[in-house]
């Protein structure tokens, strides 16, 4: 297995920065560190797509794959329903249902 290093810079407007600070409860200087696990998860999602390792046929498939990627490559823990709802823009009730596979 090879280690691959990826470094990138993102240009984000002030509105986006404020939204991310609110979402993560952090300062502007901390946004990059807060985004890092999600960027890593997104890279794995694209790699799976490019290599055909994880075919996605529905929006639910995509959401489930993203959640798994965020847990595996980013957070390392299953987010609470409230956090899941906040991150995936769904109600807490829907997040509970999503986590239970309903």
Could you give the CA distance from residue 68 to residue 64 in angstroms, rounded to a whole number? 6
Distances (CA, A) of 17 to 26, 43, 69, 72: 10, 21, 23, 25
Q: Dihedral sign, CA of 8, 70, 37, 93?
A: positive
pTM of the full structure:
0.70
Output the six-digit token pair for 62: 């995509």
Could you give the CA distance from residue 40 to residue 68 in angstroms, rounded to a whole number? 12
Mean per-residue pLDDT, 36-45: 87
69-97 residue pLDDT tens: 877 776 777 778 888 888 778 888 888 88
Q: What is the DSSP letter of 80?
A: P
């Amino acid at each position: 297995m090879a280690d691959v290093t990826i470094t990138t810079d993102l240009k984000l407007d002030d509105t986006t920065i404020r939204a991310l600070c609110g979402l993560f409860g952090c300062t502007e200087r901390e946004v990059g560190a807060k985004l890092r696990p999600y960027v890593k998860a997104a890279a794995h999602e694209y790699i799976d797509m490019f290599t055909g390792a994880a075919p996605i046929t529905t929006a639910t498939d995509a959401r489930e794959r993203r959640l798994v990627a965020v847990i595996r490559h980013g957070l390392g823990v299953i987010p609470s329903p409230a956090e899941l709802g906040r991150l995936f823009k769904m109600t807490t009730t829907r997040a509970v249902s999503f986590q239970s596979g309903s």
